[in-house]
Structure 1
Amino acid sequence: MPGNEPDLSTLDDPRHEFRAVESRDAYLGRVIALRVDRVNMPGGGVATREVVEHHGAVAIVALDDDSRVVMIHQYRHPLARRLWELPAGLLDEPEESPVEAARRELAEEVGLAAEEWSLLVDVAASPGFTDESVRVFLARGLSVVDRGVIEDSEEADLRVARFPLADAVRMVLAGEIVNASAVAGLLAAHTVLVGNVPPRPVDAPWPDRPTRFARRRR
């Protein structure tokens, strides 16, 4: 309600700096690294914080002319089951912009291109232990392109389907879609289309884009 806006005046006040006084690598893999930091706490002590470093990723809410969203059904080993997700992929090409990565992933995963692109949301996957962040785009004006060669991975097993956006939102609220970027992207797309809230441009600032793991791989 008007007049009940939160007071943000104190957010810029000087506060404790959570500085890492020590850092070591516990694991370095192809997709993630595990870093262990010792961090200064406000009370004067030092606490251990385990941080999973990640490339970052992009995901795409691809809507066709009938307002159906393109979804994939893909096996995810940590949950030991298949999930309904958005087309998505890693930001593992350092010189590639997020929107160009999204264009590439849309073609590779579901064999589509899009004429219109806009930015929906940025999702910090689980900031309590990882710097992974996902930028979710809205893509419209779809056309079919060559999907290319499918690698011998989970992608070789994925199923592609289209759902009316309203049905996909109901699947989110029913707990049938649980992937974080899919949940956020679908609800954001519904808000943009039904609530007439304008999306951001594709090159909007992304202060939380992960960079540390990418620097390791160079």
Structure 2
Amino acid sequence: MAKDWELDKNMGKDADLIEEKVSSEDVFDGNLLHVKKDTVRLPNGNIAYREWIKHPGASAVVPVTPEGRLIFVRQYRYPIQQVTLEIPAGKLDAEGEDPLDCARRELSEETGYQAEKYTFLTKLATTVGFSNEFIYIYAAEGLTAGRQHPDEDEFINVCTLTMDEAMAKIRSGEICDAKSVTAVLLLRDLQDSQGR
């Protein structure tokens, strides 16, 4: 599992920026999201309120075929009212679930593929202004095809792109999902550093 990075409070670094939680209340408790409203003391001593979403975390994986093609999924994303082109991903099922286990599960469910090798790419804070979600991103290689078996409420089409095609779709905005953009850019950097 990826090593977490934290603000080093003991050394006093950035102590003039830290907000102290005074109290917390639950605003909404859903299946996926838990909305909180916290009262905080600002560095200058004033009181402020922070509304934020507690999220269990997630994993994502960019699968690479033996031919070097990247596997993506197309699905309708209700909040933005459009079909997106993304890498397979999903939330951690339980607190403490190994993000790599989650990545394996999501790859299998959304695409039907299994992978022999996973490479950790990064841990991404998705929306630091209003959520504590971190998503762990992996590359997957040594793929074996199987049967796609998405969740009951998931409707997904699988497609493949070359790295050049994926980069062009990032530039055009067709791939606009942050985790997918990040994954493709980091994978390309990794491949370049390996001379592939």
Give the TM-score normalised by the residue count of structure 1. Answer: 0.80
Task: Kindly state the Cα deviation for residue 44 of structure 1 after the two structures are TM-superposed.
Answer: 1.5
SS in 2 for 1:65: coil
Count of matched residue positions in the alignment of Structure 1 and Structure 2: 184
Which residue does 2:69 correspond to in 1?
Answer: 68
| Cα 1:141–1:14 shift into 2, 3 Å | closer
Measure, in 1, the Cα distance between the counterparts of 2:141 and 2:28: 40
| Cα 1:95–1:12 shift into 2, 3 Å | closer
Deviations, residues 118-158 of structure 1 (Å, cap 9, x unaligned): 1011111110110011111010010012334x4432x23x2
SS in 1 for 2:67: coil
Task: Kindly state the Cα deviation for residue 106 of structure 1 after the two structures are TM-superposed.
Answer: 0.5
Q: Given the alignment, which residue of 152, 172, 175 partners 2:173?
A: 175
Equivalent position amino acid for 1:188 in 2: L
Task: Kindly state the Cα deviation for residue 169 of structure 1 after the two structures are TM-superposed.
Answer: 1.6
Give the TM-score normalised by the residue count of structure 2. Answer: 0.88
Measure, in 2, the Cα distance between the counterparts of 1:96 and 1:52: 19
Measure, in 2, the Cα distance between the counterparts of 1:195 and 1:116: 18
Measure, in 1, the Cα distance between the counterparts of 2:103 and 2:159: 19
Which residue does 2:30 correspond to in 1?
Answer: 29
Aligned ranges 1:50-129 → 2 under 5 Å: 50-94=51-95, 96-129=97-130
Contact residue 57 and residue 133 of structure 1 kept, 8 A = yes
Contact residue 109 and residue 151 of structure 2 kept, 8 A = no
Which residue does 1:211 correspond to in 2?
Answer: none
Equivalent position amino acid for 1:196 in 2: Q
Which residue does 1:130 correspond to in 2?
Answer: 131
| Cα 1:46–1:95 shift into 2, 3 Å | closer
**Higher mean Cα deviation, 102-111 or 11-20?**
11-20
SS in 1 for 2:105: helix
Measure, in 1, the Cα distance between the counterparts of 2:192 and 2:172: 20
Which residue does 1:189 correspond to in 2?
Answer: 187
**Higher mean Cα deviation, 82-91 or 93-102?**
93-102
% identical aligned pairs? 30
Measure, in 2, the Cα distance between the counterparts of 1:107 and 1:100: 11
Equivalent position amino acid for 1:42 in 2: P
| Cα 1:58–1:14 shift into 2, 3 Å | closer
Equivalent position amino acid for 2:43 in 1: P
Contact residue 54 and residue 132 of structure 1 kept, 8 A = yes
Contact residue 111 and residue 147 of structure 2 kept, 8 A = no
| Cα 1:172–1:14 shift into 2, 3 Å | closer
| Cα 1:95–1:20 shift into 2, 3 Å | closer
Query: Structure 2: 5+ residue runs without aligned partners?
Result: 1-10
SS in 2 for 1:38: strand
Measure, in 2, the Cα distance between the counterparts of 1:51 and 1:186: 28
Which residue does 2:158 correspond to in 1?
Answer: 160
